[in-house]
Amino acid sequence: MSSPASSFPRLQSARLYGIVDLGYCTPAQVEAMTAALCEGGVDLLQLRAKKLTLPEIEKLARRMHPITRDHGVPLIINDHLEIAASIGSEGVHVGQDDEAVARARAAVGPGVFVGKSTHSLAQAVAAQAEAADYIGFGPLYATGTKPDYVPIGLQDITEVHQKVQLPIFCIGGVNAERLPEILTAGARRVVVVSAFLLAPDVQAYVRQIKSSLP
């Protein structure tokens, strides 16, 4: 039995998910990066800062939020439910080793969407049973952004879309060169991190990827 699909229309229509990852930019660059990603056309934007302290991350989130809000882009906080709750972000994202979806939802309250990372078909189906609002599915390719994970390849993309009715964002090594084969494999939504943040012209690169999505 499938759980009902996400009730957030903005997730249903979202195709391109960007992440401001502090592994690729400095805190001083966060506003400019946020603006470039939003202006290029990301539909969702996450803040991910694995090496900063909670107060540092909260400060960055508070600096990003007015920019994302001005562009109508939901801001999603990676891992830190308390920061999501305190700044009033539109979403929170949890990994397999983080809080269960129900606990995350209880912490952030209704109206805030909860996404979950999944790394196999079984985890994707389990996240749907847990009533996540969307899932990340990957890493499709080996990626320096999440170096300890074994890539899952493209072969399960069609099947995950048959089994899981939530918005599915394919992630891990996504870039403009690989996008055609990822879409041919059945993906409809993608997350792009390093390819965006390291692009010489971030806004133009985002626009290029966005224009290739369904």
Residues annotated in a binding site for Mg(2+):
79, 98
Structure tokens at 120: 């196999």
Annotated binding site: 46-50, 78-79, 98, 117, 143-146, 173, 193-194
Nearer to ligand 3NM, 24 or 69 (CB): 24
CA separation for the pair 8, 54 (Å, rounded): 28
Cα–Cα distances (Å) from 204 to 51, 70, 209, in that order, read 29, 20, 9
Residue 68: strand, helix, or coil: helix
Nearer to ligand 3NM, 40 or 136 (CB): 136
CA separation for the pair 186, 102 (Å, rounded): 29
Interaction between residue 117 and ligand 3NM (CB under 6 A): yes
Q: Nearest approach, Cβ of 171 to ligand 3NM (angstroms)? A: 5
Nearer to ligand 3NM, 40 or 139 (CB): 139
Nearer to ligand 3NM, 166 or 193 (CB): 193
Three-state SS annotation for 142-204: CCCCCCCCCCCCCCCHHHHHHHCCCCEEECCCCCCCCHHHHHHCCCCEEEECHHHHCCCCHHH
Interaction between residue 116 and ligand 3NM (CB under 6 A): no
DSSP 8-state class, residue 28: G
Among 30, 38, 77, 192, binds ligand 3NM (CB under 6 A): 192
Interaction between residue 174 and ligand 3NM (CB under 6 A): yes
Size of residue set near ligand 3NM by CB under 6 A: 17
Nearer to ligand 3NM, 194 or 212 (CB): 194
**Residue 209: enclosing H or E segment and its boundaries?**
helix 202-212
Residue 78: strand, helix, or coil: strand
Among 18, 40, 115, 139, binds ligand 3NM (CB under 6 A): 139
Among 18, 74, 167, 172, binds ligand 3NM (CB under 6 A): 172
CA separation for the pair 14, 146 (Å, rounded): 23
Give buried/exposed letters for 69-80 (b at 16+ CB in 10 A, else e).
eeeebbbbbbbb
Binding mask 147-166 for ligand 3NM (x = CB under 6 A): --x-----------------
Interaction between residue 182 and ligand 3NM (CB under 6 A): no
- Binding residues vs ligand 3NM (CB under 6 A): 117, 119, 136, 138-139, 143, 145-146, 149, 171-174, 192-195
